[in-house]
Amino acid sequence: MHYRLGVDVGGTFTDILLIDPATGRTFRAKTPSTPHDQSVGVLAGIEKVRAEARIPLSEIGQLLHGTTVATNAILEGKGARVGLVTTAGFRQVLQIARSFVPGGLAGWIIWPKPEPLAALEDTVEAVERVASDGSVVTPLDEDALRASLGRLRGVEALAVSLINSYAFDGHERRVAEIAAEELPGVPVSISSAVLPELREYERTITTVANAYVQPQVARYLDNLAGRIAEGGVTGSLNILRSDGGLASASAAAGSPVNLLLSGPAGGVAGATWVAEQAGFPDFLTFDMGGTSTDVALVQGLRPRVGRETRVGDLTVRSASVDVRTVGAGGGSIAHVPELTRALRVGPQSAGADPGPAAYGRGGEEPTVTDANVVLGYLPARLAGGEIVLDRERSRAAVAGVAEAMGLPSVEAAAQGIVDIVNENMFGALRLVSVQQGFDPP
C-alpha cells in the first residue's frame, strides 16, 4: 500500500497531511518551519505524521508539495542579486516598464515606484539584433559580450532577454553558453525558455523574476529531495504550480516563476473542496499565514485562473489561480518610521526564526502575533503545544510601538497593529471581489 503525503511549507509553520487512499483515513501534523533549511522542518513533520500513522517511510508513494519559498522571497525582497543581459539599446527596459500609477493623479506624489529586481548597474547590453520574423539582422558580438559579462561578477543569477528572441532563440542560447564560461556556477534564465512571447517588458520582467528566486528555490528542492531520500521516502516528489497543476521537482527548480503562488493555489484548491462538501459554490477564500495573507474568488466551485501572477507590487506573465497576496501575516513586523511617525505593519516578517517575540526564540520586534497575544486573542500554546506563547515578551515588544507613537497603553498599540493588518487584508478581499465587479451578498 502506498500513502499520499501533502506538504505545505509556510513562512512560519509547516503542515503535513498523510492520506490512506484505500480507506480515506487521514493523519495531520504541524511543526515550525525552519528558514535556514526548510527541508529540516518538512522531515520533522513527515516523521511526526508517520509515527502517528505507524507506517514506514517507504510506504509513502507520492509526495505533493506546496511551497511559499518563491512567494516569500518576492514579498520580503530576499531573492538573488540578478544580472540582466539585454539587446543593445534596451538596457533600461525594466526602468521604463509600463505606465501604471495606482490611485489616480495623487499616485504621482505618494506612490514610490518599486525598485526593479535587476539593478541598472547589473544590466549589460549585447550587440545583436533579431527581426520579428526571426531573421538575424546583427550577429551576436561574442567578444564584446564576454567583456560585458566580466562586469557582472558577483551576481547570484543571470537573466537573458533579447529583443524578438521568441522568434529566434539562437542568440540567447549562445549568451547562456558564454555566461556559463564567464560566470561559472551562476544559474541562467533565458526568456525564450521562460516566456517565448512578444512584448519585451513582460518577457523581461518574468525572466528576471525567474532568476531572482531560482537559486533559493533550487537549493531548497535539492536539499528536500536529498533529505527525504536519505530518510527512506521512495515516492516521487511533485511541486504544486501557481495554476494548481503539478510539476516534477527538476522542472520546478528550472522554472520557479511558475511557483510564485504555489502555496496559495493549494489553499484555494483545499477551500474549494471544503466548500463543495458544505454546499457553497460561490465564495471568497481567506488564507492567513505567518508571512502573507492570500485571498481568492471562486464561482461555481471553479477558481479563476488568470494569465498573470501578482505578488505584492510584482506582476509577471505566468498562469496562476487569481490569488491576491499581501504581506500581512502573523509574523508581519510593526514599525514606526522615524520620518513619518505613522504606524506600518509588514511586509517584513519575523518568520519562524526567530519568530514573534512571544515565541521566546530571540525575536524582539513587535508582530501581529504579539499584538494578538497582548489582546488575548490567542491561546497559551500553538502547534499542538510545541510553541508556548510568552505574553510578557509580547507586551515588551509592542510597548516600543506605544512609546514611539505616544499611545497611552500597550493595548492601544496592539489594537492599532491589528486594525492596520485587518485593513490590509480587507483591501485584498476587495481586490478580488467588488473591484472586479462582483458584489458579495
* pLDDT given at position 374: 94
Place of cell 526593479: 116
* pLDDT given at position 232: 79
pLDDT class of 91 with cuts at 50, 70, 90: very high
* pLDDT given at position 139: 96
Cα torsion through 393, 361, 17, 253, rounded to 10: 130
Is residue 11 a contact partner of residue 329, using CB atoms and an 8 Å limit? Answer: yes
Contacts of 22 (CB under 8 A, 6+ apart): 1
DSSP state of 169: -
Give the three-state DSSP class for 426.
Answer: helix
Give the three-state DSSP class for 280.
Answer: coil
Please count the other Cβ atoms lying within 10 Å of the Cβ belonging to residue 44. 18
**Sign for the pseudo-dihedral over CA of 332, 338, 341, 342:** negative
Question: Among 102-106, 301-305, 378-382, which is the least confidently predicted range?
Answer: 102-106
Give residue 150's identity as a one-letter amino acid code.
G
Mean pLDDT of the chain: 88
Secondary structure E strands in 209-280:
236-240, 246-248
Among candidate residues 31, 37, 33, 43, the one with its CA nearest the CA of residue 11 = 33
Among candidate residues 188, 206, 190, the one with its CA nearest the CA of residue 116 = 206
Distance CA 378, CA 119 (A): 42
Question: Which is more confidently placed, 313 or 408?
Answer: 408
**Apex CA 352: angle with CA 349 and CA 358, to 5°?**
85
Mean pLDDT for the stretch of residues 274-297: 89
Q: Specify which residues 361 forms β-bridges with.
A: none
Q: Specify which residues 159 forms β-bridges with.
A: 84, 189
* pLDDT given at position 213: 94
pLDDT digits (tens, 9 = 90+) for 316-362: 999 988 888 787 888 889 989 888 888 988 878 887 778 889 888 88
Helix (H) or strand (E) holding 207: helix 200-231
Among candidate residues 378, 377, 405, 380, the one with its CA nearest the CA of residue 390 = 380
Give the three-state DSSP class for 87.
Answer: strand
pLDDT digits (tens, 9 = 90+) for 238-271: 999 998 888 999 899 999 999 988 888 888 988 9
* pLDDT given at position 140: 96
HSE at residue 260, side-chain half, CA atoms within 13 A, is 32
